[in-house]
């Protein structure tokens, strides 16, 4: 029997190591939580030490000693319970196997109760387990990943189907969760007013510059810029430098009345881009002030701008707190700072906002692109790059 210890942050990581080194027939013998100590003995971090074993002499019963279950628990992917062998198999070996399985169940329950994450009782076919891990590693919420795979299994119940077929079905399931915005239309007698709102530091001003430059230079539209971000002098200066270089007129609004006057001044424009000040999601008063400014004018597109490298929990909190400002689109920024693109799917499942653009760098205007279902779905599954 081969016995080996593995160290990992989570049981999912430990499972991968055990499968890679000992194979799918290994069993867990022991799981302990260990702590790394820092200065003065203060615990610095924790990890799991998992002892696993592989029996070199498996129980035999003719040519097929053990039948595998048709479905497996996604959290017990690599350690499947064995069905009871016939009475011809040695009783001692049976009892040993039963004890190992009982120990495994006890350890599983202990870890589940202690750590909580990464464990679910839902079942998925074993041929979709690797796909489940791909989704979770991409940042897709575990419950959502399981829901997607159950839908795939309902549509493709055949375990011998090719991976390309599974990918095609999963892409379609993911695309159902992604909405695309309507194409912009020309408005008679007034400009289309486009506003970007969102937390501090998400890149609203840079994104405004990218959108305005593309419309002005590529699509030859008559563009105006309006900045509400009077709290950061650097933001006004940054946008004004860009406006001067691009020969796009710019106005600054210090009050709701200034907003009205600026939009009237831009009445002959095709589109006016409005840069709002960033606000912490906890700054309810500041968010309400932005809404008071926007209420003075007629807006057509309000894009909630979110940094995709932020944790899912914080993104969901930001959406909830910015709901006081009615937004009808979302922009995901800084995709170059993360590889967990599945975050956006978790957000879109709960808030059905259409995705208008994604951005991935500081260069104006190249590092952004309009979003669409096909591109975002493939990005989440690692089939597309930015």
Residue 93 confidence (pLDDT):
65
Residue 56 confidence (pLDDT):
65
> Quick one: pLDDT band at residue 348, thresholds 50, 70, 90?
very high
Q: Are 181 and 376 in contact (CB under 8 A)?
A: no
Q: Are 384 and 378 in contact (CB under 8 A)?
A: yes
Chain mean position to CA 344: 4
Q: Which two tokens stand for residue 65?
A: 């000693």
Residue 107 confidence (pLDDT):
55
Residue 362 confidence (pLDDT):
86
* Average model confidence (pLDDT) across the chain: 83
pLDDT, tens digit, 9 for 90 and up, residues 227-253: 998 877 677 888 999 999 999 999 999
pLDDT, tens digit, 9 for 90 and up, residues 289-346: 999 999 999 999 999 999 999 999 999 999 999 999 999 999 999 999 999 999 999 8
Has residue 159 got a pLDDT over 70? yes
Has residue 42 got a pLDDT over 90? no
Has residue 57 got a pLDDT over 70? no
Q: Are 293 and 253 in contact (CB under 8 A)?
A: yes
> Quick one: pLDDT band at residue 116, thresholds 50, 70, 90?
very low
Given strand 27-37, what is the order of strands in its sheet?
2-8, 43-54, 27-37
The pLDDT of 16-22, averaged and rounded, is 87
Beta bridge partners of 192: 271
The pLDDT of 2-19, averaged and rounded, is 84
Instruction: Give the domains, in start order, of the chain with CATH numbers.
Output: 2-121 (no CATH), 192-380 (3.40.50.300)
50: which residues sit within 8 A by CB, 6+ positions away? 5, 6, 7, 8, 11, 14, 18, 28, 30, 31
What values do phi and psi take at 183, rounded to 5?
-70, 140
Has residue 84 got a pLDDT over 70? no
pLDDT, tens digit, 9 for 90 and up, residues 180-222: 998 887 788 899 999 999 999 999 999 999 999 999 999 999 9
Taking the C-alpha atoms of residue 375 and residue 294, their distance in angstroms, rounded to an integer, is 32
Given strand 368-370, what is the order of strands in its sheet?
250-252, 223-227, 271-275, 192-197, 301-307, 329-333, 355-359, 368-370
Largest CA distance in the chain: 92
Has residue 108 got a pLDDT over 70? no
Residue 66 confidence (pLDDT):
42
Find the range with the poorest average confidence among 114-118, 164-168, 213-217, 312-316: 114-118
pLDDT, tens digit, 9 for 90 and up, residues 251-273: 999 999 999 999 999 999 999 99
Pick the residue with more confidence: 158 or 61? 158
The pLDDT of 263-286, averaged and rounded, is 96
Residue 119 confidence (pLDDT):
40
Residue 160 confidence (pLDDT):
76
The share of the chain scoring above pLDDT 70, in percent, equals 80
At CA 7, angle to CA 5 and CA 11, rounded to 5? 105
Give the number of C-alpha atoms closer than 13 A to the C-alpha of residue 7, restricted to the C-beta side: 6
Residue 144 confidence (pLDDT):
94
Has residue 104 got a pLDDT over 90? no
What is the model's pTM?
0.69
């Amino acid at each position: 029997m081969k016995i080996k210890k593995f160290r990992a942050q989570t049981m999912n990581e430990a499972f991968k190591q055990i499968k890679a080194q000992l194979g799918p027939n290994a069993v867990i013998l022991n799981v302990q939580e260990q702590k790394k100590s820092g200065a003065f003995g203060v615990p610095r971090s924790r990890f799991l030490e998992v002892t696993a074993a592989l029996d070199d002499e498996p129980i035999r019963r003719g040519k097929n000693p053990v039948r595998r279950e048709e479905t497996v628990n996604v959290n017990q992917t690599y350690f499947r319970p064995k069905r009871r062998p016939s009475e011809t198999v040695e009783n001692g070996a049976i009892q040993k196997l039963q004890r190992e399985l009982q120990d495994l169940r006890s350890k599983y329950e202990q870890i589940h109760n202690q750590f909580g994450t990464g464990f679910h009782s839902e079942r998925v076919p074993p041929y979709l387990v690797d796909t489940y891990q791909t989704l979770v590693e991409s940042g897709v919420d575990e419950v959502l990943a399981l829901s997607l795979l159950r839908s795939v299994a309902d549509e493709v119940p055949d375990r011998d189907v090719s991976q390309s077929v599974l990918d095609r079905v999963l892409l379609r399931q993911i695309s159902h969760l992604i909405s695309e915005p309507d194409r912009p239309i020309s408005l008679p007698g007034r400009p289309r007013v486009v506003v970007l709102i969102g937390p501090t530091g998400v890149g609203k001003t840079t994104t405004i510059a990218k959108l305005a430059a593309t419309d002005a230079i590529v699509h030859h539209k008559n563009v105006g810029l309006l900045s509400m971000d009077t709290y950061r002098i650097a933001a006004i200066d940054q946008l004004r430098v860009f406006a001067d270089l691009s020969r796009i007129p710019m106005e600054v609004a210090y009050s709701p009345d200034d907003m009205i006057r600026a939009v009237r001044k831009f009445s002959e424009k095709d589109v006016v881009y409005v840069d709002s000040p960033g606000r912490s999601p906890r700054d309810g008063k500041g968010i309400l002030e932005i809404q008071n400014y926007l209420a003075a004018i007629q807006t057509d597109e309000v894009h909630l701008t979110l940094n995709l490298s932020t944790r899912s929990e914080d993104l969901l909190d930001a959406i909830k707190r910015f709901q006081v400002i009615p937004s009808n689109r979302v922009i995901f920024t800084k995709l170059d700072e993360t590889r967990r693109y599945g975050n956006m799917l978790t957000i879109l499942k709960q808030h059905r906002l259409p995705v208008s653009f994604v951005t991935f760098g500081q260069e104006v205007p190249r590092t952004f692109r309009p979003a669409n279902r096909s591109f975002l779905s493939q990005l989440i599954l690692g089939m597309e790059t930015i």
